[in-house]
Amino acid sequence: MWLLDSPRLLDALSYAGTAVFAATGALAALRTRQDVVTATFFAAMTGIGGGTLRDVLMGVPVGWMQQPAYLATCLVVGAVVWSLGYPKWGHRALMWLDAVGLGAFAVLGAARAVGHGEAALVAVLMGVITVSAGGIIRDLLAGEPSILLKREIYITAAAFGAAVFVLSAPWLGAWAGIAGFVAGFGMRAFALITGWSLPPFKGALWRGRED
């Protein structure tokens, strides 16, 4: 499988995805006017949070503890973003950076799971966890409602990207990772542009007390 047989490329994509997610964490800190130390902490928790949870669930060595350069990347990105300041288009930047990170981490999370012998369905879930856990941590730290509760196309996009990668890898080879990234990022981007979301639950809610 292409991504699994190309460790240098996989590392490059991992660092890029980590940096992008770390930037969203730092931007979230800047929105609440935090200091540089807090901004770098937000960046680290967002950049490595999802991968940490994924690796713990799979019972494998945590990636950034084996390669501390991932943590260093988050800290550097956090400091740089804090130094540059929060632009007028900061919220849009956060959303689009997050979409790029979603596409990359959905594929990378699934690829890591497949590389450790996990089943296809488990690999897709690991892709979703890699994407979503860091964002959940970021939103909790910033005191904002989680993006997962805003009825936005987020988990769906991550699952779609991971599934496209897992299902297409045996046939597409080198294009599987690209296809998965494009699928996940494309669905999220389409939702950001059009405001598209899945229909909510409209059934009755039981508010009584069980006997």
The dihedral over CA atoms of 48, 52, 54, 60, expressed in degrees to the nearest 10, equals 130
For each successive 10 residues of the chain (211 residues), what is the average pLDDT? 55 82 90 92 93 92 90 95 81 83 90 90 95 87 79 90 92 81 94 87 68 48
pLDDT value of residue 207? 65
Two tokens at 110? 């699934």
State the Cα–Cα distance between residues 138 and 42, nearest whole angstrom.
6
pLDDT value of residue 2? 46
The alpha-carbon radius of gyration of the chain (Å, integer) is 17
DSSP code of residue 68: T
Question: In this structure, are residues 10 and 90 in contact, taking their beta carbons and an 8 Å threshold?
Answer: no
- Residue ranges in the chain assigned as alpha helix (H): 7-31, 36-58, 63-66, 69-84, 90-115, 120-142, 155-172, 176-194
Domain boundaries, the chain: 7-194
State the Cα–Cα distance between residues 159 and 55, nearest whole angstrom.
18
State the Cα–Cα distance between residues 14 and 22, nearest whole angstrom.
12
State the Cα–Cα distance between residues 87 and 57, nearest whole angstrom.
37
Q: Phi and psi dihedrals of 85, rounded to 5? A: 90, 175
Q: What is the DSSP string of 169-182?
A: HHHHGGGHHHHHHH
